[in-house]
Amino acid sequence: MKALKVLQEYQKKLESADIYDKYSALMFALQIPSICGRIEFRNTEENIVKELYGKNGHVRDKNMYAYWMQKHKDAFRNVMLCNDKSFDHMIKAIYSLRCTLTHEGLVKTEETEVVLVDSDIGSMDTGSMLFISIKQFCQIFFDEAEIIFTKYSTPFSNFDTLGMDNSRFSDLFNHVAHKYREFWSKYSQDDKTANMLFDLVFLRYPDMLEKVRAYFDKSPDDEYIIAEFGLKYSLVTIDNRFFFNKTYICSGREVSGIECRFSKIDFNRMQEVHDALMDYAHNVDKEIAEYMKKEESHPTLSA
The tens digit of pLDDT for each residue in 95-132 reads 998 998 888 887 776 666 788 888 777 777 777 778 88
Average pLDDT over residues 40-57: 92
Whole-model pTM: value is 0.63
Q: What is the DSSP letter of 260?
A: E
- Ranking 22-31, 189-198, 251-260, 293-302 by mean pLDDT, the lowest is 293-302
The one-letter code for the residue type at 88 is D
Q: What is the pLDDT of residues 212-258, one digit of tens each?
A: 999 999 999 999 999 888 888 887 887 788 888 887 677 777 777 88
Q: Please tell me whether residue 162 adopts helix, strand or coil conformation.
A: coil
40 near 164, Cβ under 8 Å?
Answer: no
The pLDDT value recorded for residue 296 is 52
Query: How distant is the alpha carbon of residue 178 from its chain centre?
Result: 27
Share of residues in the chain with pLDDT > 70 (%)? 90
Element housing 133 (H / E): strand 130-133
Q: Is pLDDT above 70 for 297? A: no
Query: How distant is the alpha carbon of residue 207 from its chain centre?
Result: 28
The pLDDT value recorded for residue 303 is 54
The pLDDT value recorded for residue 209 is 94
Q: Is pLDDT above 90 for 290? A: no
Helix crossing, 134-152 with 32-40: angle to 10°? 20
d(CA 230, CA 243): 10
- Phi-psi label, residue 132: left if phi above 0, alpha if psi -120 to 50, beta otherwise: beta
The one-letter code for the residue type at 150 is T
Which sequence spans correspond to the domains of the chain? Answer: 3-152, 166-293
Phi, psi at 60, each rounded to 5°: -90, 90
Q: What is the DSSP letter of 163?
A: S
